[in-house]
Amino acid sequence: MSEVFNVEEIFAQNVFTLGQMQECLPKNVYKEVVKVMDEGGELSMGTANVVAKAMKDWAVEHGATHYTHWFQPLTGITAEKHDSFVTHPDETGKMITEFSGKELIKGEPDASSFPSGGLRATFEARGYTTWDITSPAFIKETATGPTLCIPTAFCSYKGEALDKKTPLLRSMEALSKQAIRIVKLFGNTEAKKVTPSVGAEQEYFLVDQKKALQREDIIFSGRTLFGAPAPKGQEMDDHYFGVIRERVGAYMHDVNIELWKLGVTSKTQHNEAAPAQHELAPIYESANVAVDHNQLVMETLKRVAGKHGLRCMLHEKPFAGVNGSGKHNNWSITTDNGVNLLEPGQTPNENIQFLLVLACIMKAVDTHADLLRQSASNVGNDHRLGGYEAPPAIISIFLGEQLEDVVEQLVETGKADSLKEGGVLRTGVSTLPDFVKDATDRNRTSPFAFTGNKFEFRMVGSEDSIGSPNTTLNAIVAEAFCEAADRLEAAEDFELAVHDLIKEYMTKHQRIIFNGNGYAKEWEEEAARRGLPNIPSMVEAVDTLTTPKAIHLFEKFGIFTEAELYSRAEVLYETYAKTINIEALTMIDMANKQIIPAVIRFCKTLADTTMAIKEAGGDATVSADLLKTVSEKLTETKNATNHLIEVEKQASSMPQGKEQAFYYYNTVIEAMNALRRPADELEKLVDKKDWPFPTYADLLFEV
């Protein structure tokens, strides 16, 4: 049995929470902090000094020796540079730790080694990190010792965003401002702020660390680049929600403890559809804290795995042939006086505010389907989206039968008089209660599904930051709210105007609603008829960031400048090219140094055996035939390797940018696939003990 502990006691023990601040800060200082948290603005230097001192004392009490400004550059992961609290000793040699308000609020990492997409020339390498006061500081316990982490935003010398956090914060402000206008129209004059809430369900794979380390592809690219399918996949549906194995259970237990200490509300855990695949979901919270916490979830999943001799794979498609991993991004918007704008209530057909919000979201998603698609794209997700296991690459909204019917009535008659009831679900067993059915069923194939009082954006990749998807969601909805508010505020007859607006938006954007099977080929054709964008890959999605429509949206609400958008596009092309380049080089290495030599040895054994059998007068057809097949595939493998070497050389010599990224996408990937095919066939033929690295069967079924 593991040690007994108390969840309530350990929860947030490593977080400098509001409660903690209230305890250790003078009243007026605490008040100023809360005010800035709620209303924005800056702390005065005097206040910052007091907060910094209290934060340091608290951290030192917890054993912290260092602090870091923790930020999220465009690499998609987090960055940190540690500084100790050590100061100059006095003449007697005594040293007193210090941490000033200035150090708390502003950091100055050398920004030149982070991707900036041309925003920052290397001669102006300055970058600034600024404390995001709305996300609490915390202590991370790693091998380097406890470190005080201060969540920050990261900008260039000129104030351009170089991270995922800055635009997110800007988008939250924009959304709040516009949403407040909407609720005011309905008489809610008390609300001062509207906050998007996010709950991100995180999927991941767990494999044995020792085996994983025998594969260069897992080490360098986080996924398998070779590998024939195991005899068993996920067809028995016996893993999903299955009993959690002991070794995995012990791991999950540790992960939970680490996360709870960090104030992450780890809530749900279960086995996922694919063998060795699992999921963890926290309770939803303010979008920016959720983004930080999701980074901590990913870090913790990886770090704790090592302690259990496991390796956590967060890649979107670590194994071909079984499901990949995603991150369902549950999103809702709530006023500071507790009204969730996505709460339909018992009679959504009569809830005008809800219908207006819904109409605005339909408009937003339809108008900017391309941007939403882009926001969920990364290199790994190219293997998932449209792959008939994850949502299709086409954006549509699932509303469920009841709401879809309400929309239809509104579109047809301008009124929604009737409401399809959820009804009662009869269990048919006298000892089991009957249930009131949820009005919305689940539709697992929809990329953007209404699930009761929130939307679930299911396209996001498992390894990706949820920063961009939420920035985009907030931005596009802010725009729709703004346009609606502009019209409604100016209307003479509000009732009539809101009624007309709902009907107009729903009619115009009804094409974005789709309740059917998103994996069906017919949907692709139907979506094309409806004129919905179908963007199959990450590189093809990049241009959506710099259309006049996108620039107008993001500039209008102060989320991205045009220059920032172009820089992000550059970074995406660069990231894509570099990632595929690493994959190609890894394949070449594995083919040349592991697969080909192993197969040659196997061929030699077959040749020797064939001759020996013949000499001894036996029937050597089996080994002779096998030798023929294997040596042919070996030739094919070698040729494909040579071809990949050639195209990789060509690709990596091209100037960085769109053209290069597309060359990787079209030509290098094709060459990689052409190499994988014969190599995987060889894996099925070669003596298992001669195969140079662990197979899918070894990795997926032996944890």
Q: How far apart are CA 257 and CA 252, in angstroms?
A: 9
Q: Which CB atom, from 95 or from 425, has the smaller least distance to ligand ADP?
A: 425
Which of ligand ADP, Mg ion, none lies near 332, with the C-beta cut-off 5 to 8 A by kind?
ligand ADP
Tokens of 260: 């709870």
Rounded least distance, CB 65 to Mg ion, Å: 40
| CA distances, 333 to each of 199, 282, 287, 351 (Å) | 12, 17, 10, 16
Q: How far apart are CA 610 and CA 548, in angstroms?
A: 69
Tokens of 491: 């209307």
Rounded least distance, CB 330 to Mg ion, Å: 7
Strands 448-450 and 397-398: parallel
Q: Which CB atom, from 273 or from 506, has the smaller least distance to Mg ion?
A: 273
The span of 42-50, 282-290, 323-331, 459-467 binding Mg ion (CB under 5 A) equals 323-331
Q: Is 328 in the site for Mg ion (CB under 5 A)?
A: yes
The span of 36-44, 451-459, 493-501, 649-657 binding ligand ADP (CB under 6 A) equals 451-459
8 Å CB contact between 311 and 207: yes
Rounded least distance, CB 295 to Mg ion, Å: 20
Task: Report the residue from 32, 163, 201, 370 that binds ligand ADP according to the rule CB under 6 A.
Answer: 201
Q: Which CB atom, from 281 or from 385, has the smaller least distance to ligand ADP?
A: 281
Q: Which CB atom, from 332 or from 471, has the smaller least distance to ligand ADP?
A: 332
The span of 194-202, 346-354, 495-503, 575-583 binding ligand ADP (CB under 6 A) equals 194-202
Q: How far apart are CA 632 and CA 627, in angstroms?
A: 8
Residues 6+ apart with CB under 8 A from 137: 15, 16, 55, 59, 148, 149, 150, 151
The span of 221-229, 328-336, 356-364, 644-652 binding ligand ADP (CB under 6 A) equals 328-336
> For residue 134, how far is the Cα from the chain centroid?
21
Residue ranges of alpha helices (H) inside 42-193 are: 45-61, 101-105, 165-185
The span of 147-155, 448-456, 560-568, 610-618 binding ligand ADP (CB under 6 A) equals 448-456
Tokens of 4: 């007994």
Strands 194-208 and 327-335: antiparallel
Rounded least distance, CB 438 to ligand ADP, Å: 10
Rounded least distance, CB 669 to ligand ADP, Å: 33
Rounded least distance, CB 456 to Mg ion, Å: 5
Task: Report the residue from 165, 454, 633, 676 that binds ligand ADP according to the rule CB under 6 A.
Answer: 454
Q: Three-class SS of residue 207?
A: strand
Q: Which CB atom, from 109 or from 467, has the smaller least distance to ligand ADP?
A: 467
Q: Is 283 in the site for ligand ADP (CB under 6 A)?
A: yes
Task: Write out the binding residues for ligand ADP, residues 607-666 only, by CB under 6 A.
Answer: none
Rounded least distance, CB 344 to ligand ADP, Å: 12
Rounded least distance, CB 200 to ligand ADP, Å: 7
Q: Which CB atom, from 67 or from 284, has the smaller least distance to ligand ADP?
A: 284
Phi and psi angles of residue 216, each rounded to the nearest 5 degrees, phi first: -60, -35
Rounded least distance, CB 442 to Mg ion, Å: 8
Which of ligand ADP, Mg ion, none lies near 366, with the C-beta cut-off 5 to 8 A by kind?
none
Q: Which CB atom, from 455 or from 696, has the smaller least distance to Mg ion?
A: 455
Q: Which CB atom, from 267 or from 677, has the smaller least distance to ligand ADP?
A: 267
Rounded least distance, CB 290 to ligand ADP, Å: 9
Q: For 240-304, what is the HEC assignment?
A: CCCCCCHHHHHHHHHHHHHHHHCCCCEEEEEECCCCCEEEEEECCEEHHHHHHHHHHHHHHHHHH
The span of 180-188, 326-334, 371-379, 436-444 binding Mg ion (CB under 5 A) equals 326-334
Site string for ligand ADP, 253-282 (x = CB under 6 A): ----------------------------xx
8 Å CB contact between 301 and 228: no
> For residue 417, how far is the Cα from the chain centroid?
40
> For residue 26, how far is the Cα from the chain centroid?
39
Strands 66-70 and 145-156: parallel
H/E segment holding residue 579: helix 562-590
Tokens of 440: 């919305």
Rounded least distance, CB 373 to Mg ion, Å: 19
Which of Mg ion, ligand ADP, none lies near 281, with the C-beta cut-off 5 to 8 A by kind?
ligand ADP
Q: Which CB atom, from 330 or from 537, has the smaller least distance to ligand ADP?
A: 330
| CA distances, 573 to each of 79, 294, 576 (Å) | 21, 25, 5
Q: Which CB atom, from 161 or from 478, has the smaller least distance to ligand ADP?
A: 478
Which of ligand ADP, Mg ion, none lies near 378, with the C-beta cut-off 5 to 8 A by kind?
none
Q: Which CB atom, from 321 or from 452, has the smaller least distance to Mg ion?
A: 452
Q: Which CB atom, from 140 or from 328, has the smaller least distance to Mg ion?
A: 328
Q: How many residues does the chain have?
A: 703
> For residue 126, how far is the Cα from the chain centroid?
28
8 Å CB contact between 248 and 278: yes
Q: Is 453 in the site for ligand ADP (CB under 6 A)?
A: yes
Q: Is 199 in the site for ligand ADP (CB under 6 A)?
A: yes
Query: What is the number of other CB atoms lying within 10 angstroms of the CB of residue 494?
Result: 12
One-letter identity of residue 601: R
H/E segment holding residue 671: helix 669-685
Tokens of 135: 């996300």
Which of ligand ADP, Mg ion, none lies near 453, with the C-beta cut-off 5 to 8 A by kind?
ligand ADP
Rounded least distance, CB 325 to ligand ADP, Å: 14
What is the distance in angstroms between the CA of the first residue and the CA of the last residue of the chain?
20
Site string for ligand ADP, 331-360 (x = CB under 6 A): xx-------x--------------------
The span of 2-10, 176-184, 192-200, 588-596 binding ligand ADP (CB under 6 A) equals 192-200
Q: How far apart are CA 294 and CA 460, in angstroms?
A: 12
8 Å CB contact between 248 and 270: no
Tokens of 700: 């997926």
- Which residues make beta-bridge pairs with 141? 146
Contacts 24+ apart (CB under 8 A), 545-552: 545/371, 545/374, 545/569, 545/572, 547/370, 549/367, 549/368, 550/368, 550/371
The span of 184-192, 326-334, 383-391, 427-435 binding ligand ADP (CB under 6 A) equals 326-334
Using Cβ positions, the residue closest to ligand ADP within the complex turns out to be 199
The span of 22-30, 195-203, 459-467, 679-687 binding ligand ADP (CB under 6 A) equals 195-203
Q: Which CB atom, from 136 or from 199, has the smaller least distance to ligand ADP?
A: 199
Q: Which CB atom, from 328 or from 363, has the smaller least distance to Mg ion?
A: 328
Phi and psi angles of residue 156, each rounded to the nearest 5 degrees, phi first: -80, 175
Q: How far apart are CA 498 and CA 496, in angstroms?
A: 6
Q: Which residues bind ligand ADP (CB under 6 A)?
A: 197-199, 201, 281-284, 330-332, 340, 451, 453-454
Residues at the contact surface with Mg ion, assessed by CB under 5 A: 328
